[in-house]
């Protein structure tokens, strides 16, 4: 583990169960990406994050919405700013808003009153209202462009090409693809489909890729198990458009924070020190417009 490696964590979560997170309380997700997530049903605050990342030089972090009560998404943003004032983290916020909401612009303006907000994450549904085919969804994406907000794109690998076609109509929209495109099917056929989607998205220079959440529902996190998708993602997007995200505490269901970073460094053993610093720090600073403290 290089002692001088500075890290900007481009994707993590915090929560206090005194707030309202339906998925952590009365409405559990039956098909959670990593299976049983009972261990996550506890507070996860900056002190917990710092324990997990102890020994690493984390210089900034990006908080991505944590499935807070959807009717109170602005409350999550306000709470995160209180956390920042107390702990100095997170340093950028990706908030939630339904992109097909008729009152979206009003909600975006409410989020933007908080200075750490840089973008929006809204997970599209498969079809109908709230899908990428919904005309109101496209209207929402235009509003993201208008207000200078990025979109954190989180869809399974089989929707990547669909997302790429959608984004052709939004050339000014900056997009951060979550979780390495979620390559859940590691068979040759599955990886072929994932690769086609990744290549389609990478053809758009405004799309970045987060090297995050490589965990699988029924498999351990291993260097050899993840080597191929990490190296291919970097080959497809280039080191200029890839950035590390821990997805903690969720990824902790499969691997420790330090072990995850160590595993990625083993996979990236052939990457130069300057390129490593882009992946682990500089690209995220640029994408999320984070001013690093002196």
- The pLDDT score that the predictor gives to residue 2 is 77
* CATH number for the domain whose boundaries are 6-287: 3.20.20.140
- What are 175-195's pLDDT values in tens digits? 999 999 999 999 999 999 999
- What are 241-270's pLDDT values in tens digits? 999 999 999 999 999 999 999 999 999 999
Give the separation between CA 161 and CA 234, rounded to whole angstroms: 18
Sorting pLDDT into bands at 50, 70 and 90, what band is 293? low
C-alpha dihedral sign at 32, 9, 279, 152: positive
Report, as an integer, the average pLDDT of 143-164: 96
List the strands of the sheet with 150-153, edge to edge.
Answer: 6-12, 57-64, 92-96, 117-121, 150-153, 175-177, 207-211, 242-244
Q: Reply yes or no on whether the pLDDT at 291 is more than 90.
A: no
Domains in the chain: boundaries: 6-287
Closest CA to 286 of 150, 95, 120: 150
Contact of 288 with 119, CB cutoff 8 Å:
yes
Mean pLDDT of the chain: 96
Cite the DSSP H helix spans in the chain: 46-52, 73-87, 104-112, 135-146, 160-167, 188-202, 223-237, 257-267, 273-277, 283-287
Q: Reply yes or no on whether the pLDDT at 229 is more than 60.
A: yes
> Helix, strand or coil for residue 219?
strand
- What are 71-119's pLDDT values in tens digits? 999 999 999 999 999 999 999 999 999 999 999 999 999 999 999 999 9
Beta pairing, strands 207-211 & 175-177: parallel
């Amino acid at each position: 583990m290089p002692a001088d490696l500075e890290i900007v964590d481009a994707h993590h979560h915090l929560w206090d169960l005194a707030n309202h997170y339906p998925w952590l309380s009365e409405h559990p997700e039956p098909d959670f990406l990593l299976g049983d997530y009972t261990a996550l049903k506890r507070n996860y605050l900056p002190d917990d994050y710092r324990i997990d990342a102890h020994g690493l030089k984390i210089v900034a972090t990006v908080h991505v919405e944590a499935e807070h009560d959807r009717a109170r998404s602005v409350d999550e943003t306000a709470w995160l700013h209180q956390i920042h004032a107390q702990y100095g983290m997170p340093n950028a916020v990706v908030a939630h808003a339904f992109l097909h909401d008729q009152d979206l612009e009003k909600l975006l303006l409410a989020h933007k009153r908080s200075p750490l907000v840089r973008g929006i994450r809204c997970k599209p549904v498969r079809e109908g209202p709230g899908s990428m085919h919904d005309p109101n969804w496209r209207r929402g994406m235009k509003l993201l462009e208008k207000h200078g907000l990025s979109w954190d794109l989180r869809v399974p690998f089989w929707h990547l090409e669909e997302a790429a076609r959608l984004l052709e109509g939004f050339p000014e929209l900056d997009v951060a693809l979550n979780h390495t495109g979620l390559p859940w099917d590691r068979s040759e056929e599955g990886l072929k489909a994932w690769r086609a989607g990744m290549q389609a998205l990478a053809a758009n220079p405004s799309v970045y890729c987060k090297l995050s959440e490589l965990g699988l529902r029924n498999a351990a996190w291993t260097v050899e198990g993840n080597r191929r998708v990490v190296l291919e993602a970097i080959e497809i997007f280039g080191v200029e458009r890839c950035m590390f995200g821990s997805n903690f505490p969720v990824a902790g269901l499969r691997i420790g924070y330090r072990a995850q970073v160590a595993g990625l460094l083993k996979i990236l053993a052939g990457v130069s020190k300057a390129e490593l610093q882009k992946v682990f720090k500089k690209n995220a600073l640029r994408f999320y417009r984070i001013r690093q403290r002196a």
